[in-house]
Structure 1
Amino acid sequence: MTSALYEIETSEGDDGAMHPAEQLWTPCADGTADHGFIAHQDLFVAGIDGGADDDLYPVGFLVLGHQRWADIIEAAAAYMARTHGWRNLHLYPGDDPAVLIPRIPRAVHTHGVFLRHPHPDHGCGCEWDETWRMVWAPSTEPGAVPITAMRHPAAPVTTAVIPNPDEGAPAIWAA
């Protein structure tokens, strides 16, 4: 996942026609489980990593649609229980329970685009080849879907690059 805003890239085919360099995925209930989401009380939630190769656990969560902050906390806890067998959202396994964990971070309403690189008909052979990822996008970007995102409480602020409305990001704080 990247923190930069997304812009659809195209490439010119052999016939001179422009083609999207990546394929967009539009979330729907039938395909969410195949892409890492779990369903919890009609919400679709997934864990997101910080991009480091050693991330064992998610540093944040995203829920499809603009949801209430309390609902994303519950969905994140359900994701951790179902995916990792955790009963506690606050600590990573092996963390010292005596260490103070700050309050659960605020959730934000923003937008994202889900991409498969490259577009299946136009391969390029780069490091992103055949991978899916989500990037933050303005709401006006074609394929952008509403997302509620929240950092994991135990993750350092810098690891989960979630848009921050206080810094001018295209997002608002969830109620």
Structure 2
Amino acid sequence: MTAPALYEIETSEGDDGTPHPAEQIWTPGEDAVENGFLAHRALHVTGLDGSADDHLYPVAFLVLGHHRWFAVIEAATAYMDRVHGWRNLHLYPGDDPAELDPRIPRAVHTHAVVLYHPHPDHPCGCEWDDTWRLVWAPPTEPGAIPVTAMRHPAARAAAATIPNPDHGQVPATFAPRHQGSRC
């Protein structure tokens, strides 16, 4: 297994030609809700967009910290209800219920680095201001935080590029199913 490459912080060029960081490592904390996370019980959850810009709904969910699978399902359902007014986690709004596949994908424990745009010392005024991006990373990577990720059941598996414990590119393990579970 080869170590994944260190994430790269994007830069912009100042008027004098000097490169400046265009983003910074952000460790979500008490400001998580102000930056797109929803507080549900003791969890902070958000929806993740896919790599294609044509998604109206999240293709995956991210919960800060390592949590059990049932807690992630509950948080994802709360997210869909509060953000999209839709409590059925098996479908996206408008999907045909006859095509319902009731299996919910397993959640995984992994680590990520959150990069926030812009760097506060070098605001650029672009369309990406006040946004963040996620980079899956090994736990030893500078700025890596523990997260639990799960694909939305209605999203195609290829749309949600969360780490897969069976493939091992980024260290990940399946989240335990419920209290007392050993899996």
TM-score of the aligned structures, taking structure 1 as reference length: 0.84
The alignment status of 1:113 with 2:110, answered yes or no, reads no
Q: Which moved more, 1:113-122 or 1:75-84?
A: 113-122
Task: Report the AA paired with residue 25 of structure 1.
Answer: W
The CA distance in 1 between the partners of 2:149 and 2:137, in whole Å, is 13
1:5–1:138 contact (8 Å) kept in structure 2: no
Assess, with a 3 A threshold, how the Cα gap between structure 1 residues 129 and 95 changes in structure 2: closer, same or farther: same
**Identical amino acids, percent of aligned pairs:** 67
Alignment of 1:1-175 (within 5 A): 6-9=6-9, 22-29=23-30, 31-122=31-122, 131-168=131-168, 169-175=170-176
DSSP-derived class of the 1:111 partner: strand
DSSP-derived class of the 2:115 partner: strand
Deviations 1:39-75 (A, max 9, x none): 1110000000102222110000000000001100000
CA drift of 1:141 comes to: 1.1
What is the root-mean-square deviation in Å for CA atoms of aligned residues? 2.7
Q: Which runs of 5+ in 1 are unaligned?
A: none
Greater relative contact order, per chain length (Cα 8 Å cut-off, separation 6+)? 1
1:5–1:135 contact (8 Å) kept in structure 2: no
1:37–1:44 contact (8 Å) kept in structure 2: yes
DSSP-derived class of the 1:167 partner: coil
CA drift of 1:32 comes to: 1.1
Q: Which runs of 5+ in 2 are unaligned?
A: 177-183
Deviations 1:105-156 (A, max 9, x none): 0000001111123533346898866632111111111111100000000000
CA drift of 1:100 comes to: 3.3
- Structure 1 ranges of 4+ moved more than 6 A: 10-14, 123-127
CA drift of 1:24 comes to: 1.1
DSSP-derived class of the 2:110 partner: strand
The CA distance in 2 between the partners of 1:13 and 1:98, in whole Å, is 55
Assess, with a 3 A threshold, how the Cα gap between structure 1 residues 128 and 84 changes in structure 2: closer, same or farther: closer
2:91–2:154 contact (8 Å) kept in structure 1: yes
2:9–2:115 contact (8 Å) kept in structure 1: no
Q: Which moved more, 1:50-59 or 1:113-122?
A: 113-122
TM-score of the aligned structures, taking structure 2 as reference length: 0.81
DSSP-derived class of the 2:166 partner: helix
The CA distance in 2 between the partners of 1:50 and 1:24, in whole Å, is 21
